[in-house]
Amino acid sequence: MEAVKVRVQTQPGFAKGLSDGFPKFVKAQGYAGLYKGIVPLWGRQIPYTMMKFASFETIVENIYKYAIPAPKSECSKSLQLGVSFAGGYVAGVFCAIVSHPADNLVSFLNNAQGATVGDAVKKLGLWGLFTRGLPLRIVMIGTLTGAQWGIYDAFKVMVGLPTSGGVAPPAAGEQLKG
């Protein structure tokens, strides 16, 4: 579906969507063409997801520690949800940066029939692979990731759970010392 989506987005007139784009794509490139971008796709999604989860809690904890003058327990739910969105946005910036080269590869490979990773590097250059379209991707992914974490914490509040972040738990060794 990613291959068809990229083709519909980047080649005007190719198709209106998945229903007419899928058969047209398969006819032109065969079923194997649908999977030629799978490794770069994983190269985009895996670092993105790892960064999303690895950085969010730490960012939120640091917002509470350095930017909010009161303990989390004294903050309103609205402020806590704002911190969740802000932490998610910053995490999204990191996600965009680590996944951007692979995103450019996926787009390139799904647009150029028979293209290889080497072709993408030759055409875009290493600098272009890392920077082409990055500011727009940062805004898009930052906002998307901030919204995802904001919605996640809003749901937690709705069901009576606390929002994310706050004081970091003691390290495992410190728990045993007490």
Each residue's pLDDT expressed in tens, for the chain with a length of 178 residues: 888 888 888 888 899 889 999 999 999 888 988 887 788 788 889 999 999 999 999 999 999 999 998 999 999 999 999 999 999 999 999 999 999 998 888 888 877 777 888 898 899 999 999 999 999 999 999 999 999 999 999 999 999 999 998 655 555 555 555 5
- The domains of the chain are located at 70-164
The structure's pTM equals: 0.76
Q: What is the dihedral of CA 19, 25, 26, 30, to 10 degrees?
A: -160
- Assigned token pair, 133: 């379209």
Cα–Cα–Cα angle for 48, 119, 4, nearest 5°? 55
Q: How many CB atoms lie within 10 A of CB 59?
A: 21
Spatial distance between the Cα atoms of 6 and 29, rounded to a whole number of angstroms: 14
